[in-house]
Amino acid sequence: MYSKHGTMEEACKVFSAMTEQTLVSSNVMIAGFVKHGLIDRAWKLFRQILSDYMSPDIVTITSMVQACIATRNLDSGRLLFLCNSLEFGFPFRVW
C-alpha cells in the first residue's frame, strides 16, 4: 500500500522489518521502485532475489522489463528476455 501511494521509504521500512521477505513482497517492492523511478533499487532487489536462490516469476520479470523500458536499457532488456525463456521458464508470447 505504501509503494502504491508513493511513500517508498515507508514501504522499505515495512519490507525490511518483515520476518520473511517472500517473492510476492519482493515483487511489490520492485514494482513500486519501478513506478517511482527508483530503477537502481529495483535492480538491487532483483539481484538479491537471485542471490537468495528465489526463482523470479512472471510478475518479477514484467516489472524488470518495465525498468528496462523506463531507462531504455536495451542490453539488460535483451538479457531478461533470454533468461526469461531459458532459465526462468516463462516464454514470452507475442500477440
List pLDDT tens digits, range 16-67: 999 999 999 999 999 999 999 999 999 999 999 989 888 888 888 889 988 9
Q: What is the pTM of this model?
A: 0.79
Angstrom distance (rounded) from CA 1 to CA 8: 10
Angstrom distance (rounded) from CA 20 to CA 41: 19
Segments making up each domain of the chain, as ranges: 8-86
Q: Determine the average pLDDT of the residues in 68-79.
A: 81
Angstrom distance (rounded) from CA 46 to CA 29: 10
